[in-house]
Amino acid sequence: MRQLTAIIAFLFLMVYGEFSHAQQASIKGVITDTSNQKKLENAVISLLRKSDSVLVTFTRSNKDGVFLLNKLPAGEFVMLISYPSFADFVDPIKLEPNSALEIGDINLTLKSVLLKEIVIRQNATMRLRGDTVEYSADSFNVRPGASVEDLLKKMPGIQVDKDGKITAQGTNVEKVLVDGEEFFGDDPTVATRNLQADAIDKVQVFDKKSDQAAFTGIDDGQSKKTINLKLKEDKKKGYFGKLELGGGLNDRWNNSSMFNRFRAKKKLSIYGIASSTGKTGLNWDERNTYGSGSDNMEYNDDFGGFMFYGGGDEFNNSNYYGEGLPKSWATGINFSNKFDADKQNFNGSYRFNKLNSEGVGNTISQSISPDTVFYNTEGRRTLNSRNRHSVNGTYEWNIDSATSLKIIASGYLGKQSTFTDFHNESLNEFGDTVLKSVRQTSADGDNSNLKLNALLRHKFKKTGRTISLSLDQQFNNNSSDGYLYALVSTYGKLGLPEDSTTNQLKKINQKVSTFNTRLVYTEPLAKKIFLELNYAIRSNTSDAERLSFNQSGSGKFDDLDSIFSNHYKFDVLSNTTGAAFKYNGKKFTGSIGSDISFQRFNQKDQLNDTALVRNYTNFFPKANIVYKFSSNGRVSLNYTGSSRQPSIQQIQPVADNTNPLAITIGNPLLKQEFRHNFNFNFNSFKVLSERGIYIYGSLSTTSNAIVQSTRIDTSGKIIYQYINTNGNFNTWSGGGYGMKLKKWDLRINGGFGFSASKYTTLVNGEKNVTNNYQPQINFNLGKFKDKKYEIWYNGSFGYNFSRQSIRTDLKTTYWTQDHNLNVNVQLPHKFEINTEIEYNLRQKTVVFDQNNDVFLWNGYIGRKFLKNDKGMIRFSANDILNQNKGYNRVINTNVLREDTYQTLTRYFLLSFVWNFSKTPAGGINP
Amino acid sequence: MKSLLIIFPILLLGSLTRAQETFILEGKIEFEKKINFHKALDGLADNDFDNSWIQSMKKNFPATITTYFNLYFDHSKMLYKPGREVPPSSPPVPDWLVGPAVDNIVFTDLDKKENIGLKHVFENTYRVEDSVRNIEWRITMDTRTIAGFSCRKAVGRIMDSVYVIAFYTDQIVPNGGPESFSGLPGMILGVAIPRINTTWFATKLELVTVKPEELTPPKKGKKVTVKELLEQLKGPMKDWGKMGQRNIWSIMI
């Protein structure tokens, strides 16, 4: 025992001794210039660790050329002495603990003296240090299917051991790049064993000290021995895709398959969808991968973010939101390629969509006239079938660094057929039936569209001087043949029905074409001030033929009904020019300017042979200011003035009796409306405290607003006519505050919204102003943990108010509530459960007395399987409580209505989802 | 005219011989900081399919973001701060994309081995006070000329995994550099940090006399140490994915 203690004490002393003396070595020397025999001051003496060249310490020589490095640890070092214009002095040094090394004079030699020698030596060492050594892969024979590793083994100077470790020129290779990019982390074998030899064009070996900047764009500093594998262009190929099959009882199915194949820069993708659960097209993610990408994105400097704008019609949406039960089919093919060193790229696609829907719906409405009120109910059954073939193409050419051209072309051809069966009843103020009607409409139509857009941009050498020219063309054609049958029974004071029947063939043919050319030139006036000049010419031509035929004695529909028939042409030609000044500062940006526009309306009634020509001159002022008060906060204010021309439907002097209970008449004397639009935006986000606040507001007032006047007759029938009125405005605003409760890791947000409008029109010849406003508050809570769970709750309460000036006693007010809860939990054994509850409550009113509350509960349970969780089996249930219905309430005019309609309700679906991919080059995705 | 011709070679000779011996002890260096923005955007993609929005941003914004800084120094103190302004691109790259801490003011006391940096990090302004960062520099034999000075390449690592490539010249005696980089035997005239796609390279040196009162540490901001700052960033940045990691690196350099 005593012996042991002694040993420990001895060891302790030894260790202690090591520590106390370790810092005690020192080096002393004098730096001199050989040729001039002068002492050199300020020479740098660096001590590097011999094993890895790490700088341990350094000093400079004093004016006598003397230097002293002390408190040095023991070990092996390299001493590096440098002095401007002199050759480096490098010497290995071994320091014993506690030693004081006296080197004496160190002679440095001017580089100029050594020049010759160095050149010779460098030539000799060039090979050893080397530049990039490049091997051409094809000059080495390997068996088909051989890996890169097999290929490397054949190359002189490269060895590969049994573990895949590579040695090049005697040094261990630590990194393998593929086309200059890192290939799944640092393990070189990932690339060499998974890539096939025949995919390789060249093998490049960098020496330890060569510069990799050429490959990564920036020196990555890791001076490891590196091999770069250059792939053959045509071998960068592979595919990936997705298959989803789902089926349930009651004719519910949802199937889709998508496939993308890529080869070098060519990409080809195809997809197919068949669904009776509302999927009509590709969703956002899928569009990026299998469609033509997200071109619908624009940077907006006002709020410093990206704006996404959606397609618009039911064929561009990924889901069906309309009335009835949908059945949809969609297929598409997309091809894209880049060429000419990526200077040119092309993207083309073809799509086919077909959508059938059938459903029933009800509308309750209240029509308010100055002296009375009518209550109307409508029931309907609709069958709808639409299809469309679309093509799209985009070509971009960056002609040089200053000039670019972009051409977008798209078009479609579509067919539509609809059949609807209506039955209506109207009650007067006292609850007496004043009207009953049954009606069937049907129509078969064709529609087509062609759009062309070309944009040429050029930047001049002077910063800020640019010119751009854009050309737009658009053609739109709609034609349809349809039948209207309506039997309307009106009940007079005596309660006796008086019947009127309409039985007509309707032929509609409408063509709209637009040409627009715009030239914009910007010139820098000062460092931050730019002038923008623009000129545009725009021509808009509309031609609409709406013909109605009654049955003649022969039973054929060949008796033209002149009241409901018209052929009208409406052309608008506008010349616009303007100037704007822009200030582009660091914190402030702003612009101010105005356009002036000369417009000529040319209207011609083809059947009555009358014509009307009108000229307008308009100023379109615009101003905008953005202040960035912090890196994540900005406030902006925006004003624009704009005009809107009447559409052909609004201006065509013909009565549309498609619904004999609500006839719409166009007005050829309509003026264009002028709108002043103000926008306000404020947002601030505190990143570190994870709090954000935003407020926005918008106000637009319209002079000569195009509105519909209403004339309600004694049986509750309405005649709408387009007129111009003044005093209308629209406003909406909102705001919110969001934060994270760090203690609970809980995100909470609260906000408000407010919208209001004033709508002035004529009702039975009397001026009526509808005031309506809707305040709303909302809040949400969320908590999530990546790959574990996700919970979100959203709630909102809103109040709705509407009042007519002609009947201030009949105001409409009601509350609405919406709640939404979404929970997703990843369970053990690769199970996943998801549930979503949407609870919508709408307060009943005197008129809208139906209970339209919906408690919609959806959920699914799924299990992932296959390698990398690429497969999933899922059982999903939609509307478990079978309560869903479509709903809409409109209260902003004197005709208030509530629609309810059939939509997808309870169904169960068992689905199988499989994501697959194959990348022969070992897993590089495009 | 003749006399001018005679003077010229003499001047040239004089400057040549002097250059061999002249060591610079004080002055002003202008650094050009460049962010390779398109490469940086590529690095933000969390998967291949993020690509389309990155492509769209590349179309909107310039490939590099260039700013200038001045480094004033004497034998023991240095002050690094934003220099001449460059007009922003149109549209300007939004701040949230450029990243935080792009207009740092850094004071370094080489004798006391102290660093005081003023950094605008999102909504907060920090004054980071700490000792000079200790970097293990690996010295190489590679050289490169920056702003007329022959510089030697050294490679270091910060925050465990972020490589820093520095080029220093022994002809400028104070052992400083841009931002908070120092500790090499001479002035650092070039820095490249591949992880954040950023480089700093000196464009010129002006031999001006720097008054001591010009070399004063920043006083504003909330005082923190390097460790404290890192702790404060970790929470808010954790949900930001690759952008969060990049932000941390950019702030902590």
* Confidence check: pLDDT of A218 > 90: no
Residue range B59-103, pLDDT digits in tens: 778 888 999 999 999 988 999 999 998 877 767 788 778 888 899
Which of B236, B135, B242 shows the shortest CA–CA distance to B195? B242
Distance from CA of B87 to the nearest CA of A (A): 7
Mean pLDDT for A851-869 is: 90
Which of B65, B75, B119, B170 would best serve as a mutation to test chain A binding (most A beta carbons within 10 A)?
A: B170
Q: Which is higher by pLDDT, A714 or A577?
A: A577
CB contact under 8 A, A84 and B170: yes
d(CA A897, CA A601): 36
d(CA A314, CA A357): 12
Using the Cβ of A217 and the Cβ atoms of chain B, whether some distance falls under 8 Å is answered with yes
What integer best gives the mean pLDDT of chain A?
A: 85
Q: Which is higher by pLDDT, B143 or A316?
A: B143
Place of tokens 């002390």: A70
Contacts with A585 from chain B: Cβ below 8 Å: 88
Query: Which residue from A minimizes the CA distance to B140?
Result: A53
Distance from CA of A438 to the nearest CA of B (A): 53
Which of A36, A38, A40, A44 would best serve as a mutation to test chain B binding (most B beta carbons within 10 A)?
A: A44
Q: What is the pLDDT of residue A120?
A: 31
Q: Which of A464, A589, A742 sits opposite B235 (nearest CB)?
A: A742
Percent of chain A with pLDDT over 90: 54
Lowest mean pLDDT among A266-270, A570-574, A642-646, B217-221: A266-270
**Winning range, highest mean pLDDT, from A134-138, A192-196, A199-203:** A199-203
CB contact under 8 A, A223 and B155: yes
Q: What is the pLDDT of residue A187?
A: 57
- Asked if the bond preceding B212 is cis, omega within 30° of 0, the reply is no
* Confidence check: pLDDT of A128 > 60: no
CB contact under 8 A, B91 and A632: no
Distance from the Cα of residue A118 to its chain's centroid:
59
CB contact under 8 A, B23 and A464: no
Q: What is the pLDDT of residue A66?
A: 93
Contacts with B158 from chain A: Cβ below 8 Å: none
Q: Which of A54, A630, A688 sits opposite B236 (nearest CB)?
A: A688
Q: What is the pLDDT of residue A310?
A: 52
Residue range B94-112, pLDDT digits in tens: 877 888 889 999 999 999 9
Distance from CA of A169 to the nearest CA of B (A): 19
Banded model confidence at residue B44, pLDDT cuts 50, 70, 90: confident
Q: What is the pLDDT of residue A835?
A: 96
Mean pLDDT for A596-615 is: 92
Distance from CA of B149 to the nearest CA of A (A): 9
d(CA A317, CA A310): 8
Q: Which residues contact A251 (CB under 8 A, 6 or more apart)?
A: A276
Give the ranges where A426-563 is alpha helix by DSSP (H).
Answer: none
Lowest mean pLDDT among A133-142, A609-618, A856-865: A133-142
Residue range B33-43, pLDDT digits in tens: 999 888 888 87
Distance from CA of B188 to the nearest CA of A (A): 14
d(CA A667, CA A673): 14
CB contact under 8 A, A52 and B138: yes
d(CA A58, CA B154): 14
d(CA A77, CA A101): 13
Mean pLDDT for B216-244 is: 88
Phi, psi of B184 (to 5 degrees): -105, 160
Contacts with B185 from chain A: Cβ below 8 Å: 44, 46, 55, 58, 60, 82
Q: What is the pLDDT of residue B21?
A: 57
Using the Cβ of A873 and the Cβ atoms of chain B, whether some distance falls under 8 Å is answered with no
Contacts with A301 from chain B: Cβ below 8 Å: 91-92, 94
Q: Which of A53, A218, A528 sits opposite B36 (nearest CB)?
A: A218
* Confidence check: pLDDT of A354 > 80: yes
Lowest mean pLDDT among A86-100, A281-295, A565-579: A281-295
Which of A281, A272, A269, A280 shows the shortest CA–CA distance to A245? A272
CA distances from residue A689 to A377, A781, A867, B124 in whole angstroms, order as listed: 55, 17, 40, 9
Using the Cβ of A306 and the Cβ atoms of chain B, whether some distance falls under 8 Å is answered with yes
Tell me which residues of chain A, numbers 524 to 583, contact chain B at a CB-CB cutoff of 8 Å. Answer: 527-528, 530
CB contact under 8 A, B139 and A80: yes
Lowest mean pLDDT among A400-404, A512-516, A857-861, B10-14: B10-14
Which of A51, A63, A82 would best serve as a mutation to test chain B binding (most B beta carbons within 10 A)?
A: A82
Mean pLDDT for A572-593 is: 91
Beta-carbon count within 10 A of A916 CB:
13
CB contact under 8 A, A220 and B163: yes
Distance from CA of A55 to the nearest CA of B (A): 5
Mean pLDDT for A913-924 is: 66
Exposure string for B128-167, b = 16+ CB within 10 A, e = fewer = bbbebbebebbbbebeeebbebbbbbbbbebeeebbbbbb
d(CA A328, CA A316): 13
Amino acid present at A25: A
Instruction: Confirm whether pTM is higher than 0.80.
Output: no
Banded model confidence at residue A447, pLDDT cuts 50, 70, 90: very high
Residue range B155-211, pLDDT digits in tens: 898 888 888 989 999 999 999 999 999 999 999 999 988 888 899 999 999 999 998
Mean pLDDT for A95-99 is: 86
- DSSP of A506-530: EEEEEEEEEEEEEEEEEEESSSSEE
Contact A367, A388 (CB under 8 A): no
Distance from CA of B135 to the nearest CA of A (A): 9
- DSSP of A12-78: HHHHHHHHHHHTTEEEEEEEEETTTTEEPSS-EEEEEETTT-BEEEEEE--TTSEEEEEEEPSEEEE
Q: What is the pLDDT of residue A912?
A: 95
**C-alpha neighbours within 13 Å on the C-beta side of residue A364:** 13
Q: What is the pLDDT of residue A607?
A: 86
Under 8 Å CB pairs connecting chains A and B tally to 150
Banded model confidence at residue A915, pLDDT cuts 50, 70, 90: confident
**Winning range, highest mean pLDDT, from A6-15, A790-799, B117-126, B225-234:** A790-799
Distance from the Cα of residue A264 to its chain's centroid:
26
CB contact under 8 A, A688 and B94: no
Residue range A24-79, pLDDT digits in tens: 789 999 998 877 778 889 999 999 998 888 999 999 999 889 999 988 888 899 88
Mean pLDDT for A876-899 is: 92
Distance from CA of B6 to the nearest CA of A (A): 25
Lowest mean pLDDT among A45-59, B43-57, B212-226: B43-57
Q: What is the pLDDT of residue A728?
A: 94
Amino acid present at A925: N
Percent of chain A with pLDDT over 70: 86
Contacts with B85 from chain A: Cβ below 8 Å: 586
Q: Which is higher by pLDDT, B152 or A9?
A: B152
Residue range B188-200, pLDDT digits in tens: 999 988 888 899 9
* Confidence check: pLDDT of A623 > 90: yes
d(CA A429, CA A285): 53
Q: What is the pLDDT of residue A458?
A: 92
Beta-carbon count within 10 A of A581 CB:
13
Lowest mean pLDDT among A755-759, A896-900, B174-178, B242-246: B242-246
Q: Which residues contact A255 (CB under 8 A, 6 or more apart)?
A: A244, A245, A246, A247, A273, A274, A275
Q: What is the pLDDT of residue A125?
A: 25
d(CA A905, CA A277): 10
Q: Which two tokens stand for residue A772?
A: 């309506």
Query: Which residue from A minimizes the CA distance to B43?
Result: A181
Question: In a 3-state reduction of DSSP, which class is residue A711?
Answer: strand
Q: What is the ipTM of this complex?
A: 0.87
Contacts with B148 from chain A: Cβ below 8 Å: none
Using the Cβ of A687 and the Cβ atoms of chain B, whether some distance falls under 8 Å is answered with yes
* Confidence check: pLDDT of A133 > 90: no
Using the Cβ of A297 and the Cβ atoms of chain B, whether some distance falls under 8 Å is answered with yes
Query: Which residue from B minimizes the CA distance to A182?
Result: B43
Mean pLDDT for A809-835 is: 93
Mean pLDDT for A379-392 is: 94
Which of A386, A878, A519, A85 shows the shortest CA–CA distance to B149? A85
Using the Cβ of A112 and the Cβ atoms of chain B, whether some distance falls under 8 Å is answered with no
Query: Which residue from A minimizes the CA distance to B62?
Result: A401
Q: Which of B139, B173, B192 sits opposite A46 (nearest CB)?
A: B139
Tell me which residues of chain A, numbers 166 to 185, contact chain B at a CB-CB cutoff of 8 Å. Answer: none
Question: What distance, in Å, lies between the first and last C-alpha atoms of chain A?
Answer: 71
Contacts with B231 from chain A: Cβ below 8 Å: none
Distance from CA of B106 to the nearest CA of A (A): 20
Query: Which residue from A minimizes the CA distance to B90?
Result: A584
CA distances from residue A206 to A224, A290, A535 in whole angstroms, order as listed: 9, 38, 56
Amino acid present at A793: Y
CB contact under 8 A, A294 and B236: no
Exposure string for A436-472, b = 16+ CB within 10 A, e = fewer = bbebebbbebebbbbbbbbbbbebeeeebebbbebeb
d(CA A832, CA A825): 6
Q: What is the pLDDT of residue A224?
A: 63
Phi, psi of A440 (to 5 degrees): -125, 135
d(CA B31, CA B82): 9
Q: What is the pLDDT of residue B197?
A: 86
Exposure string for B72-105, b = 16+ CB within 10 A, e = fewer = bbbebbbbbeebeeeeebeebbbbbbbbbbbebb
CB contact under 8 A, B49 and A209: no
CB contact under 8 A, B139 and A299: no
Lowest mean pLDDT among A68-72, A182-186, B115-119: A182-186
E-assigned strands of A525-649? Answer: 529-551, 557-560, 566-584, 588-605, 610-630, 633-644
d(CA A754, CA A773): 7
Q: Which of A84, A219, A527 sits opposite B194 (nearest CB)?
A: A219
Contacts with B56 from chain A: Cβ below 8 Å: 294-295, 297, 299, 306
Contact A510, A543 (CB under 8 A): yes
Distance from CA of A720 to the nearest CA of B (A): 46
Q: What is the pLDDT of residue A240?
A: 81
Query: Which residue from B minimizes the CA distance to A633?
Result: B123
